[in-house]
Structure 1
Amino acid sequence: MAKRISAEEFDRIFDEGNEDIVDYLDLDKAVVSYPDLDTDLRRVNVDFPEWMIDELDREAKRIGINRQAVIKTWIAERIDRMRAARSA
């Protein structure tokens, strides 16, 4: 169950970036959407070291999604940051 705080407190924590906000989210109702991922899918095989798979699985379990969703989400977030940096 998510910790309850005000919207203002949530915004402050998010903006400061020093604390993980996942504990404040109700992930049972969360929807992750990256529209670019829904088009023209291509399969890519990637080999990861075992320790990395273990970390991915821990994060997936922590936030209640599967390993592939963690990988796609993290890569999409990184691409978003790169695009933002290029356009700044």
Structure 2
Amino acid sequence: MKATEFDAKFDQEEDITEFLDLSQAKRPGHEQKRVNVDFPAWMIEALDYEAKRLGVTRQSIIKVWLAERLEKSAHRNIQYIDV
């Protein structure tokens, strides 16, 4: 398929995934990096309780909660910059 044909399909909002090799696809800025954090036992118990209640893993709940907090913080920082 020529690039012009591919572009036309994309512009017409057709499904182009069959023409892509997604095995090597990467999301810039989303590379994984391992960190170790020590938590007190009570915090681990609370995290495990919430994770079980929500049906997710401990790691997932930590990631989601941290992401939410960082987004709020970034949003507040942007508001101060705009003023």
TM-score by length of 2: 0.59
Task: Give the percent of matched residue pairs that are identical in Structure 1 and Structure 2.
Answer: 48
1:20 matched residue in structure 2: none
Q: Mind listing any 5+ residue stretches in structure 1 that lack a counterpart?
A: 1-35
CA distance in 1, matches of 2:73, 2:63: 15
Q: SS at the partner of 2:34? A: coil
1:71 matched residue in structure 2: 62
CA distance in 2, matches of 1:75, 1:39: 15
- RMSD between aligned alpha carbons? 1.6
Higher RCO structure, 1 or 2 (CA under 8 Å, sep 6+): 1
1:7 matched residue in structure 2: none
Give the letter aligned to residue 67 of structure 2. Answer: A
What number of residue pairs does the alignment pair up?
Answer: 52
Q: Which of the two has higher C-alpha Rg? A: 2
Q: What is the aligned counterpart of 1:43 among 19, 26, 34?
A: 34
Q: Mind listing any 5+ residue stretches in structure 2 that lack a counterpart?
A: 1-26
